Structure 1
């Protein structure tokens, strides 16, 4: 039940996915080597990465991250709608959905560069090292704008995302149609003017459709311009850890400033906030900030 919101170079996200190991702000250096869960071949990253990660048995799973080229990527839970490839296509590199984000941020400087390389990988619905399978779709951002990659019809589809937000299932196209019905317009495409001019009641509730619509309305009408303003919005979509939400609750909030290469990680269990700047991190080893 995650939420991502974008506003110019600011990105905010809640991580609600229940881990077996804790989410922590983590730095991976350039030349970091890692092994996908399928295929066996060790890969070497080109770019430094700073983001929310969990560590399991020597492997890192990224919830989101910013790389030293300025590319941001976040994964969000995408059950039911996700349709991955069944097998690895000949001549491509096999990746699980969990490994995809590390390949994206470790190997690419821009969304355009990633788009040119998408056919070089096959993302298949296999289990990760912790013996779990996680269906994801991904939000990406660079200087050219914001995008989404969704596994639909067995292949990865890259598309622009002008909405300013992303949550979980349903797929982005379905979310846009539902948003337009909320706005009272008959259109299948995103209409920014309709969002800006909307004066009706904002959607309530915590399901993915309501959170998506609140994120889009906030992005276009309120336009958060500071870390504090973005954090204020994240509080409205944060799920507290209670008996009712024993497993699906918000583990961390993140606010990323791509322009300043800053990442602020706030643990919802401890309330502690950690801020680091990727430009100042040139250490040739993994760092976990606590």
Structure 2
């Protein structure tokens, strides 16, 4: 379970971030991948050479380095989220280059400069499901991407094929598919930041309990649809931040509403599903801002920071 979003400031900087909600043990680290880095496609051991330098949060396990989110030197940023019950791989042309599902985020961060370039890049590949070293299963995945223009898209491998879907609201969660989530927002048209007035039922006066009566229809749980609705409501009603400092504060406040405390959700494997980390990226400066469950102080890192691990 994860939630992702974009946010624009008045200075036209685009911020992109996510919560990493997971029930398996992960120890993410920040990595810098240089341009012209050569790596092996997990599905077939074909060599792939990155075009762009990028910084990303990921984990290396059993010789496989997988990324969860990141941004490259062109300001193209992306993240991977779970898509249980909907993801279907190997639905493209047999002649297309196969990219392992666990490699796809690395592939686009290393080779895509903008959202506009994604259609041509996706035409040349198909995504193949490969077991990851954390869950030892073929994880059902989908992806969200944005860039410095503010354009935002969702990439979903389904029975229809590899779909590239415009994301005008700049929010993504998990299952169902993105178009379902957008339709579901119509169930919450009564939600408003303004105050409800008193009403009368026959001659009975009913007055709201103070402030925030306009938000009573918003869902409060941690399911994917509920998190999508809350994040969409908050980011679309928030005053546009004046600068990057206000934007970062706003980003973290919004995702606090969907962050999962340990113990609130327990899986069928009797493990806690909770927010391991929350991270935001400034696509203009290629800076990371992140905090973990056990350390709520916001830390920063940059694509141009030499002290980080470089592969």
- Deviation at residue 16 of structure 1 after TM alignment: 0.9
In structure 2, C-alpha distance between the alignment counterparts of 1:265 and 1:247, rounded to whole Å: 21
| TM-score (normalised: structure 1) | 0.86
- Deviation at residue 127 of structure 1 after TM alignment: 1.9
In structure 1, C-alpha distance between the alignment counterparts of 2:298 and 2:150, rounded to whole Å: 29
Q: Pairwise CA RMSD of aligned residues? A: 2.6
Residues 67-106 of structure 1: pairs in structure 2 closer than 5 A: 67-85=72-90, 89-106=93-110
**Deviation larger for 268-277 or 195-204:** 195-204
On the 8 A contact 1:165/1:212 being kept in 2, the answer is yes
On the 8 A contact 1:52/1:265 being kept in 2, the answer is no
Residue 177 of structure 1 aligns to a residue whose secondary structure is: helix
Q: Closer, same or farther in 2 for the Cα pair 1:269/1:282, shift >3 Å?
A: closer
Q: What residue ranges of structure 2 are gaps of 5+ in the alignment?
A: 9-13, 196-213, 242-246
Q: Closer, same or farther in 2 for the Cα pair 1:197/1:114, shift >3 Å?
A: farther
Runs of 4+, deviation exceeding 6 Å:
194-198, 282-285
Correspondence for 1:172 among 167, 178, 182 = 178
Correspondence for 1:219 among 211, 219, 235 = 235
In structure 1, C-alpha distance between the alignment counterparts of 2:251 and 2:144, rounded to whole Å: 17
Q: Closer, same or farther in 2 for the Cα pair 1:57/1:14, shift >3 Å?
A: same
Q: What residue ranges of structure 1 are gaps of 5+ in the alignment?
A: 185-193
Compare CA radii of gyration and give the structure with the larger one.
2
Q: Closer, same or farther in 2 for the Cα pair 1:243/1:213, shift >3 Å?
A: closer
Q: Closer, same or farther in 2 for the Cα pair 1:156/1:195, shift >3 Å?
A: farther
More helix by share: 1
Q: Which residue of 2 aligns with 1:271?
A: 296
In structure 1, C-alpha distance between the alignment counterparts of 2:258 and 2:93, rounded to whole Å: 39
- Find out whether 1:115 has 2:139 as its counterpart: no
Correspondence for 1:59 among 61, 64, 74 = 64
| TM-score (normalised: structure 2) | 0.80
